[in-house]
Amino acid sequence: MSDNSVQIGFVGLGKMGGNMVHRIKRDSDFKVVAFDFNAEAVATAEGVGAEGASSLEELVSKLDAPRMVWVMVPSGDATTETVNKLAELLEPGDTIIDGGNSRWTDDKERSARLEPTGIKYVDVGTSGGVWGLQEGYCMMAGGPDESIAQLTPILDVLAPPFSEQHGPGWGHMGPVGAGHYVKMVHNGVEYALMQSYAEGFNLFDACEYDLDNAKIAHLWNQASVVRSWLCELAALAFEQEGNDLGELEPVVADSGEGRWTVEDATDKRVPVPAIALSLFERYSSQGHSDFANKVNSALRAQFGGHAVERKS
């Protein structure tokens, strides 16, 4: 795809942002201006054809109006601070795109604050992780129609190729906040799917048979009803880390989206038991159930005289 008139600024060049810049420059002639506080990340972006910027001011100055600036920094305060700084530098008709994992309610608040300035706001829930450069990114966008139309050439390049069966690899979900809301639920579903695979392989680890987990994961991807990309990644993990994943600690982090999904489901009184239990399992892996387990052990000793295990 060749069109030098399409321009975009990128703020945040980590694993996702850096690879997105790389994919745009690899697969199009679009102009990309890239900024990160890490000078090495900027140099890497320049190495794939982007124009580097040493500040937000320089990034904005290198783009023609109406500008589009894609923010790819950690959700929360970092995103809010970046959006606020850009709001002081951009002009009416420009658009800020948040491609990180912001909560959809934060998107609505930011959009409302920007509305008097004439600066548009778009939220893009982005899935694909470190494989996005190779496979493309599944993107769920929320925002005004005119801003989505302007952003479409960028989304088309970042997304997987158009599929006759499934259509484009990105979609306009609705007004501001809708993109990140759909991505939030996507991540909640992801929690539950991951937990299901984890529990199945956990049972294999405890069973009487000497099973090859990588072989099973590969087999399940051959016309099985549980075949999936996550199952492919499970096979890859067992091949790289060994059948027992012996070097890995049994700790699973959570970045917020699963928690937000359960919170919103609770507010709406919508049952999501599989997602909720998968979230609680992550909390358990982080040590948050240790004291509860001590209480359980103490209670068994009190009412039944059962033995307890004590620290040596």
CA distance 195 to 88: 44
pLDDT of 1 > 60? The answer is no
H or E stretch at 121: strand 120-127
pLDDT for the residue 4: 63
Token pair belonging to 111: 């959009």
Q: How many Cα neighbours within 13 Å face the side chain of 310?
A: 4
Going from the C-alpha of 95 to that of each of 79, 114, 123, 159, 232, the distances in angstroms are: 15, 10, 10, 20, 37
**Given strand 51-53, what is the order of strands in its sheet?**
51-53, 31-35, 7-11, 68-71, 95-98, 120-127, 138-142, 170-174
CA distance 233 to 218: 9
Tokens 């795109």 locate to: 97
Q: pLDDT for 220-248, tens place per residue?
A: 999 999 999 999 999 999 999 999 999 99
pLDDT band at 55 (very low <50, low <70, confident <90, very high): very high
Q: pLDDT for 8-53, tens place per residue?
A: 999 999 999 999 999 999 999 999 999 999 999 999 999 999 999 9
Q: For residue 91, give the amino acid letter.
A: E
pTM over 0.85: yes
Token pair belonging to 166: 């499934």
pLDDT for the residue 82: 96
Contact (CB, 8 A) for 103 and 158: no
CA distance 281 to 273: 12
H or E stretch at 254: none
Residues catalogued as catalytic: 183, 190
Q: What φ, ψ does residue 73 adopt, rounded to 5°?
A: -120, 170
CA torsion sign, 258 to 261 to 267 to 271? negative
pLDDT for the residue 165: 82
140: helix, strand or coil: strand
CA torsion sign, 73 to 78 to 80 to 85? negative
Which residue in 75, 176, 191 sits closest to 124, CA to CA? Answer: 176
Q: For residue 82, give the amino acid letter.
A: T
Rounded to a whole number, what is the distance in angstroms from the first to the last CA of the chain?
66
Q: pLDDT for 266-296, tens place per residue?
A: 999 999 999 999 999 999 999 999 989 898 9
Q: What is the mean pLDDT of the chain?
A: 94
Q: pLDDT for 63-92, tens place per residue?
A: 999 999 999 999 899 999 999 999 999 999
Which residue in 111, 174, 97 sits closest to 142, CA to CA? Answer: 174
- What's the average model confidence in pLDDT over 125-139? 92
For residue 74, say if its preceding peptide bond is cis, omega within 30 degrees of 0.
no
